[in-house]
Amino acid sequence: MSESEAGEGRSADVVSVAERLNTVISWVPAELRSDPAASGPLSGVRIGVKDNIEVGGVRSTCGSEYFADRVASADAACVTALKKAGAVLTSTLNLAEFAVGVTSQNSASGGPVNPWAADRVPGGSSGGSGVAVAAGIVDVSLGTDTGGSIRLPAACCGVTGLRPSVGVLDMTGIFPVSADFDTVGPLARSAALVRETFGVLAGADPGPATAGPMRVAVPWPFVTDEVDPAIRDAVLGTADLLRRLGHRIVDMPVPLADTAQDVVYTLIYADLAKTHAERLRDEPSRFQPATRERIRLGLSISDEQLVGALRRRDEFRSALLDVFATVDAVLTPAMPVDVPLLGGGDAVVEQARRMGQLTYPWSLHDGPTLALPVGVHPSGMPIGAQLTAAHGAEATLFALAEQYQEHTDWHLRRPPVRVDG
């Protein structure tokens, strides 16, 4: 640990674990970490933000060689809100380049390491955000989620993460992926701390942490009938506990879910190709290969395909209005497979589709989804589930998740590589 790091209050253990897990891109200097005059619900809470979220005066690289020396001129709106609530911004966190990828291994800073097993991916694109919370480097992190980029790291790292309703949080100061789907949200060990952080970001308490009897749909199979048996059993066990806690579990299909992932891919990749058009044209070799492969998918999308995808998006959202008029929440797995091993070979797009098979459909929905740990796979890796509700119904998710976590300890498990204490 350098003298400057010691002077800024970072312990040698925090720095050592962060370096071992390759989760921090930049440490925030002491004078930029907090608002000395502020106090509030997050006073003293250590927070790291994904490195596509700007912290004024600090590098904002988006995990890319293109932005290696780019310094943010001002705090993102979400960072400003956290500082006003008394939070301490300690670091910017590693991610998949330009937030494109589900493993986070395509970062110009090298891939972050899963603290549960160094040979497993940490999820993406907010991989560093999931790792930092799981390993105790920060108390809370912010990630962004377009197709699953908060929920997949939460599942892979055994923490709790919220994709909020689209449009409820200010995205100013965050590098975009796709404006129709981009969200920013918190990850923490507990749903309670996620709720408190979301309340600060939203400017209002999302609601009481009490759960009266609710109707929870468990659509099985959801999108795929190839869910890993251990994951299936953990999610069904979660449903059984919710039933014993007084909630009604119903088997209700999610209309159009089988095509939702393709719709999201079409819209997101079209936006990515537009955002990065000049980089693709002028200096494509500066992209990480996996990033370049995925962004280029958008170049072949026609106007006709776009119009069709937008129509199907609206049809899916309309169908979900009927679903959430009948049930309060939907419970599904976060991933259909165990946390993958590193080295997925050249099948970048295929791996992304498989890992995101159950998160992408909920990105087509404009309401919130909360990922939380619900078990342990025979491999020893965490198992995550998702709870989804109607637009603006974050309070429903928190009520269910906090009640669930009062009766389970999956969210309290700590990985072998972590900060002591």
CB 181 within 8 A of CB 266: no
Positive/negative CA dihedral, 219, 123, 418, 341: positive
Q: Can you tell me the distance from the alpha carbon of 70 to that of 58, in angstroms, rounded to the nearest whole number?
A: 8
Q: Can you tell me the distance from the alpha carbon of 161 to that of 389, in angstroms, rounded to the nearest whole number?
A: 14
Residue 329 tokens read as 């929440």
Q: Determine whether 26 is an active site residue.
A: no
Q: Determine whether 274 is an active site residue.
A: no
Q: Determine whether 50 is an active site residue.
A: yes
* Residue tagged active-site, from 91, 125, 126, 165: 125
* Residue tagged active-site, from 104, 126, 149, 165: 149
Q: Can you tell me the distance from the alpha carbon of 165 to that of 99, in angstroms, rounded to the nearest whole number?
A: 19
Residue 284: count of CB within 10 angstroms of its CB: 12
**Helix then strand then coil, % of the chain, to nearest 5:** 40, 15, 45
Question: Which of 63, 24, 93, 119 minimizes the C-alpha distance to 291?
Answer: 63
The angle at the Cα of 243, spanning 240 to 247, to the nearest 5 degrees, equals 145
Q: Can you tell me the distance from the alpha carbon of 49 to that of 371, in angstroms, rounded to the nearest whole number?
A: 18
Side-by-side strand order, sheet with 46-50: 24-27, 88-93, 46-50, 140-145, 183-188, 160-163, 369-376, 382-388, 329-333, 215-217, 248-250
CB 84 within 8 A of CB 38: yes
Q: Where in the sequence numbering do the catalytic residues fall?
A: 50, 125, 149
